[in-house]
Amino acid sequence: MGKFDGKVAIITGGSRGIGRAIAVRLASEGARVVFTYKSNEEAAAETVALVTAAGGSSVAIRADVSDAETAERVARDAMAAFGRIDILVSNAGIVHNDLMMRMSRDHWRDVIDTNLSGAYYMAQAVTRPMLKARSGRIIFITSVVGQAGNAAQTNYAASKAGLIGLTMSAARELGSRNITVNAVAPGAIDTDMNAPYKQEIEAALAQTPLGRMGTPEDVAGAVAFLASDDASYITGQVLAVDGGLVMR
């Protein structure tokens, strides 16, 4: 028996990196997985294959969750496929780094729309079936940058800090219906998205007590805990998976 037998999880941005690791971890413990991807069909197929190899089943949906109607369609498709939604992991995110004085309005808008508004739209879409079931787990993937800030990432930091506020407010709204809302804040994680930022990663590692980069699987483990019955009395919290980089 797996922790998530009979449960259905939606994971946004599940075609690679942290999202893929979460999909595989939840599927390996019995969840049926619906994940979104924006454009890379080959990467999405690889995630499907990995989920299958882990003994699970998955549905891949091409979707840009920064569009509210698309987010609602993802939730409808998940309900049509499996009849329920038990877990949402809002992981889809992008970066467009630049100093604030040089940042284009498009790069500000794109990051906020995907990282923050997209997470809100997905949470809003899954709330209805979760309220009817009087049960659910919503987990936002934020970042240490949302807790401590970072130069040349005002857009990213603002979007990730916004997720923390969203987490706490939604937790207060939904707790009476047995829906928990939490966030996971990764630090320096070894992903394709972080690969171009070697210098910045090295600077972060120099201040990380554990002295190593994290893996997508490290983050997936934290998400699996918060999605499980073991975390049924935890809500409105931010769990840092950062090797000790940001301590609060």
Q: Which residues are catalytic?
A: 156
Written in H, E and C, the secondary structure of 29-41 is CCCEEEEEECCCH
- Find all residues with CB under 8 Å of 102, minimum gap 6, and list them: none
- Find all residues with CB under 8 Å of 135, minimum gap 6, and list them: 86, 177, 178, 179
Question: Phi and psi at residue 107, in whole multiples of 5°?
Answer: -70, -35
Separation of alpha carbons 148 and 91, rounded Å: 19
In angstroms, how far apart are the furthest CA atoms of the chain? Answer: 54
Angle between helices 118-133 and 154-174 (to 10 degrees): 10
Separation of alpha carbons 230 and 246, rounded Å: 25
